[in-house]
Amino acid sequence: MENIIDTIGYCAALLTTLSFLPQAIKTIKTKDTSGISLIMYSMFTLGVFGWLVYGFIKNDIPLIMANLVTLSLAGIILRLKIKYK
């Protein structure tokens, strides 16, 4: 049973982390950022940075890895939103 629970956790982490990849690719290709909320990506990027700091302090490798990926993807989208308003 423990294995199934861990698998659900890993799948959830993988999905929520990698979900920002298609958005980053779409935004890089289309430069269409009008519908994207600057406040959302500012708050989200700050929050993910917070999770990264939290992961480092707790020495939690999965938390560090997941949030490093999400931070770079969300950071790309945030920069494009600022650049193309």
| CA atoms lying within 13 Å on the CB side of residue 49 | 8
Least Å distance, CB 12 to a copy of itself, is 3
The C-alpha torsion from 45 through 50 and 51 to 53, rounded to 10°, is 130
Residues that bind a copy of itself (CB under 8 A): 5, 8-9, 11-23, 25-27, 30, 32-37, 39-41, 43-44, 46-51, 53-54, 57-58
What is the closest distance, in whole angstroms, from the C-beta atom of residue 63 to a copy of itself in the complex? 10
Closest to a copy of itself by CB, 21 vs 82, is 21
Residue among 9 and 62 whose Cβ is closer to a copy of itself: 9
- Work out the number of other CB atoms within 10 angstroms of the CB of residue 57: 8
> Would you state the structure tokens that stand for residue 56, as one six-digit string?
């480092």
